[in-house]
Structure 1
Amino acid sequence: MTTAAAHLDYVLDNWPVLQDAVTTPAKATGWPPAMGVARILSEEERIRAVEERLDTDPSAFGPRPVPIAVDILDILRAVEQDLVGLADEMAAAIQRPVLPTMSGGGWRDDAHRQLVLLSAKDSADPRRWRYSGQRDLARAAEWIAGRVAGAPGPFRLLLPVEQVRVDSVVQACADQVRRALGIVGIARREQPVPFPCTGCAGQLVVCGGDGQPPTVECRDCGRTWTDRAA
């Protein structure tokens, strides 16, 4: 599987989760986790977190934080527009025009009738990207994935420069989806630990925030510690 195909799969796999998040209240993620090896939050960060929790109290005075669903909805719209726009751009470049129907003959001419039928079939080919009708993210992602894989159809193969363009857009879309998952507390995140590994003195990071038990990992020797109390 190519990198572009993996990015498209990532977007498609997580799209329903983000759509649900638009109408589902956000849940606390407990990030960073308070593991036995250290409390990652600084005093300033803890104070800020408390203030943010207090600000969600409906009886408190002052402006409220923007609902998290608005952030997610903005990302959903942006990613969908980017992928549909990419499909439009690539189709304009690589999709073959529908076969012509003009033959110079009338309907009684067998060759003319065959050409008309062939043109109609070519126009209705479900593999074609269309500039009207079904133009949602899922359809765009699947169509682009087909072009990346070189699937047969009324298209030519992507040129190297076009492949670079596709790679760039779909990676940006996957990054946006990854950021959205982080906002709703689903994506696993990492944060450096402020002391070295006891085995090799390498860099430690605490990983979690996605509902799974948090762990501390050494980026140098690969040792891992799990918080059994999580």
Structure 2
Amino acid sequence: MTTAATHLRSIALHWTDLTNALGQPAIHHGFGIGLRGHLATLEDPDTTTLAQARIDERADTAPDAPGERPVPVRLTILDTMRQAEAVLLDCADQIASSVQRPVMNPLPDSYPPADRRRRGLLVLQDRNDPRRWSWTGGRPAAPYAALWLLARVQGLPGPFRALTVLQIDHVTTVARDTAGRIERALDIAAQRKTLEQRHECGGAIDIHGGEGRPPVAHCTGCGRIWTEQGVAA
């Protein structure tokens, strides 16, 4: 439960960062973007391949690149936001369909009018309870979905049944994957990747980066180190 809550809070908190990053220049030294050119250097020393990788890397901001200049939005950020929102809304839809209590019914006509009026007010309040998840009208934004799921995971009061262990596990998986996707898009998470290709010495090549740091490659066999500028050691 704690893990799910942590990831859901992270999603809600970083959504503003994603929105702000939409119009900002791409981070070319980050693990995800700068790595393309870096991997091209390691996997194919051909200068044409490397040059093409650098062109692709500059596609968002290069003044001579095709399309409108400057690019109005960063597509990687926009795609991340769309994917995250779709996944969170789908998760909330599924959870609400299982745990949200139906709106109470009005009393039948056989009850005294005063009782029916009181019950009518309760029905109206129940139907308009802002804690309820709604499938109609405009769809809520991702931060709202994350916070709604957070309230369900925490078992806060409302017209809901408690989540089962399987439902909590499902929300945890969705929240963890979504938070990780957002952190990678913003380049605020440390990352590591091992290339399938081996170094000529036979050792594995590990790539480390993220958190705004330039990627660095390290051969676990001979100890050679590469940076975006070339061989460091």
TM-score of the alignment, normalized to the shorter chain, above 0.5:
yes
> Contact 2:131–2:158 (CA<8 Å) still a contact in 1?
yes
C-alpha distance in structure 2 between counterparts of 1:211 and 1:46, whole Å: 28
- Aligned residue for 1:222? none
Amino acid at match of 2:130: P
> 1:105: how far off?
4.8
- Aligned residue for 1:135? 140
The unaligned stretches of length 5 or more in structure 1 are 33-39, 193-204, 216-230
> Contact 1:103–1:115 (CA<8 Å) still a contact in 2?
no
- What are the Cα deviations for residues 165-194 of structure 1, in whole angstroms up to 9, with x where unaligned? 212221221222123123xxx4333478xx
1:102-141 alignment runs, 5 A limit: 102-105=107-110, 109-132=113-136, 133=138, 135-141=140-146
User: 1:147 aligned to 152, 158, 161, which one?
Assistant: 152
- Aligned residue for 1:9? 9
RMSD: 3.7
TM-score, structure 1 as length reference: 0.68
> 1:74: how far off?
1.3
> 1:53: how far off?
3.5
| Structure 1 counterpart SS, 2:82 | helix
2:193 matched to 1:188?
no
Amino acid at match of 1:119: V
Query: Cα 1:54–1:171, aligned 2, differ >3 Å: closer, same or farther?
Result: closer
Q: Which has the bigger relative contact order, CA under 8 A and spacing at least 6?
A: 2
Amino acid at match of 1:23: G
Aligned pair count?
196
Amino acid at match of 1:210: E
TM-score, structure 2 as length reference: 0.67
C-alpha distance in structure 1 between counterparts of 2:12 and 2:45, whole Å: 34
The unaligned stretches of length 5 or more in structure 2 are 33-38, 195-205, 217-233
